[in-house]
Amino acid sequence: LGKRALPGHTYCFSEEMAIEMKREAHIQQGLRKAMDEGAFELKFMPIHQRDKPWCTSAEALIRCTHPDLEGVGPDLFIPVAEKYGMIYELDLWVIEFCFREIGALKQEFREDIRDLRVAINISSLELNNPKLPAQIIMLANRHDIDLNTLDLELTETGLVSHKPSGLKMLTELRQHGIRIILDDFGTGYTAFNQLQHYPIDRLKIDRSFVNELSISGQAHTRSLVDVILRVAEIYGIPVTAEGVETQEQLNYLAQRGCHSFQGYYFNPPVALTKLIATRYQQKRSVEHACAIVNAVP
């Protein structure tokens, strides 16, 4: 192809494609090795609710620790896992690993974990995997996890393209107490009036919208954020804003009725033990402060 192509665009295009294919093959091979060796870990990013001094839930985010995939994040390797049929194994690994970590921490922090929700991302391809609910229930039983504290995050693209089977599965998952979160809302193709047909408990406004909120004001983005919050309000669906990095963004979103927030302004993703320990300290210091206030005659 390269030889026959005229110099210029055509040649460059095929060269770019070759680089892209090589990159993808490299990630695919790295993933296979990482999966065989269990070379992954989870980081947890706290989600804060308005008026709550400690985080109410934590989102599990996968990281690959295999040296072949150094610096390759889930934004890059999850799509490859989806394309090559590895995602089911990977999602299941995440679910079990997450349950096991929570189970282990229960020994030490039982009371403090009881009111912490945990959110796990699953690929929208899972909507075509009828085995998923039974697998989640089996793993939850094995690790003594209360499904009423589990959130599953899915992107809207999947919901639209797997409609009948997806709706059935989400309904089943919800019957077991699991809550469904529509992730990255605003980047896909959900018509707003479709929201009422999906069995969802919460929306997450995509980081790209939050990023552009600034004090100087991007009128266009502001109005998009406003529209999303308003639509969610009409359908009675609470909203989490993702990617909150500044006080201004937080203030703006809170004023507009956003219910909860996640982003570097609060905390980057950390090990679960660290998140729980921080939360424990925050709870204790608030309790301590309350005790002092109450003791004042």
Question: Quick one: which segment of 27-35, 100-108, 185-193, 258-266 binds ligand C2E (CB under 6 A)?
Answer: 258-266
Of 123, 113, 134, the C-alpha closest to 58 is: 113
Tokens of 39: 């070379």
Residues between 2 and 41 with contacts to ligand C2E, criterion CB under 6 A: none
Which tokens in the block code for residue 183? Answer: 């992730």
- By CB under 6 A, residue 122 contacts ligand C2E: yes
Is residue 183 within the footprint of ligand C2E (CB under 6 A)? yes
Residue from 285, 297, 274 nearest 41 by CA: 274
Residue of minimal CB distance from ligand C2E? Answer: 263
Strand partners, 204: 240
- What pairs with residue 71 in β-bridges? none
Q: Give, for 118, the enclosing helix (H) or strand (E).
A: strand 117-121
d(CA 177, CA 12): 52
Residue from the set 143, 184, 239, 253 that interacts with ligand C2E by CB under 6 A: 184
| Selected range binding ligand C2E among 3-11, 70-78, 131-139, 230-238, rule: CB under 6 A | 70-78
The CA–CA distances, whole Å, from 149 to 86, 113, 144, 179, 185 equal 27, 10, 12, 8, 22
Shorter beta-carbon distance to Mg ion: residue 59 or 101: 59
Q: Could you say whether residue 242 binds ligand C2E (CB under 6 A)?
A: yes
x/- mask, Mg ion, residues 221-250, rule CB under 5 A, reads ---------------------x--------
Residues within the interface to ligand C2E (CB under 6 A): 45, 60-62, 73-75, 78, 91, 94, 121-123, 153, 183-184, 207, 242-245, 262-264, 269
Residues within the interface to Mg ion (CB under 5 A): 121, 153, 183-184, 242
